[in-house]
Amino acid sequence: MKIGFIADVVGKPGREIIGRHLSRLKEVYALDFVIANYENASHGYGLNQKNCIELLDCGIDMMCGGNHSFDKKEIFTLFDTYPLIRPINYPSNTPGSGMFRTVCCDNALAVINLMGHFTMPMVDNPFTKIVETVEMLEAEGICHIVIDMHAEASSEKQALLHLLKNRVSAILGSHTHVGTDDLQIAHGCCYVTDVGLTGCRDGVIGMESTTPIKRFLTGVGAHFDVPDRCKSILQMVVFELDEHGRCHDAKKIKLYEDGSGFREVISEASIEE
């Protein structure tokens, strides 16, 4: 089973580069399933129906959210129609589900969206919630378990790795928009602290730079906007799982605009036994 994971898709530039290149990448890397994080996909904040359909039509199979999941109020009706989830540690009566189940390559696959605590909305404890969820899946005999850990603090993501590395297939960090250089396979678990954004790479976390600079200089905030034109990047982790849900191969793909076209860079995961 080969899975591709794209973290935060930021606005129109993120959607466009996915639309332009994902089909080819799926064929080149023989991907069976593609996951993406939608929470910044519509103008940088949340997801609307039009952009949801656009991304799914590009070849994404399902999408996870985060702290901006509910920024577009129409998301409440989309959960029942499209393969979308929101963080599982929101209160139980929050609309939507925190886990997506499917069958891929004749194996049951569970994708879980989890959100950290530091600087995030008030949610249940992510660590106790995920242990409870993994125990439930293990009792059902499900061993192909992928987690989108949407968190600000790298310590929360790294702690999750050490808590679950022998029990889940992959822990893939999202939210900060800045890719980290620590892709690894630890005891059969694919891990990276943050995959990094897909969208504009020449601004500030995918946004136009003027407003954040003004905020840092003056302390006065304003609405962040996604630029209409920019140099874009697509970042995706590709990993392969065996029949027991253990990862034995992983790589990071960065496809970015460099002025003369698009350049593709591939980095292999380190292996920690």
DSSP 193: S
Q: Is residue 220 part of a domain?
A: no
Q: Residue 104: CA atoms inside 13 Å, Cβ hemisphere, count?
A: 28
Distance of alpha carbon 49 from alpha carbon 37, whole angstroms: 15
pLDDT tens digits, residue range 89-145? Answer: 999 999 999 999 999 999 999 999 999 999 999 899 999 999 999 999 999 999 999
* CA 31 to the chain's CA centroid: 16
- 229 band by pLDDT with thresholds 50, 70 and 90: confident
Which residues is 192 bridged to in the sheet?
Answer: 172
Average pLDDT of every residue of the chain: 95
Task: Work out how many domains the chain is built from and give that number.
Answer: 1
Q: How far apart are the first and last CA of the chain?
A: 21
Q: Is residue 208 part of a domain?
A: no
Distance of alpha carbon 196 from alpha carbon 23, whole angstroms: 20
Arithmetic mean of pLDDT, 67-86: 95
Owning domain of residue 168: 2-200+229-272
Q: Is residue 214 part of a domain?
A: no
Give this prediction's pTM: 0.95
Instruction: Of 41, 43, 31, give the one whose Cα is nearest residue 5.
Output: 31
* 3 close to 34: Cβ distance less than 8 angstroms: yes
Distance of alpha carbon 95 from alpha carbon 110, whole angstroms: 19
* 264 close to 271: Cβ distance less than 8 angstroms: no
Q: Is residue 68 part of a domain?
A: yes
Distance of alpha carbon 191 from alpha carbon 157, whole angstroms: 9
Q: Is residue 111 part of a domain?
A: yes
Give the CATH number, domain containing residue 171. Answer: 3.60.21.10
Phi, psi torsion values for 130, nearest 5 degrees = -75, -35
Q: Is residue 264 part of a domain?
A: yes
Arithmetic mean of pLDDT, 175-189: 97
Q: Is residue 209 part of a domain?
A: no
Arithmetic mean of pLDDT, 34-42: 97
- 12 band by pLDDT with thresholds 50, 70 and 90: very high
Arithmetic mean of pLDDT, 179-194: 97
Please give the pLDDT value at position 165.
Answer: 97
Could you list the active site residues?
68
Distance of alpha carbon 43 from alpha carbon 175, whole angstroms: 16
pLDDT tens digits, residue range 204-214? Answer: 998 899 889 98
Distance of alpha carbon 46 from alpha carbon 38, whole angstroms: 7
Q: Is residue 143 part of a domain?
A: yes
Cα 118 to Cα 89, 157, 197, 271, distances in angstroms: 14, 11, 20, 29
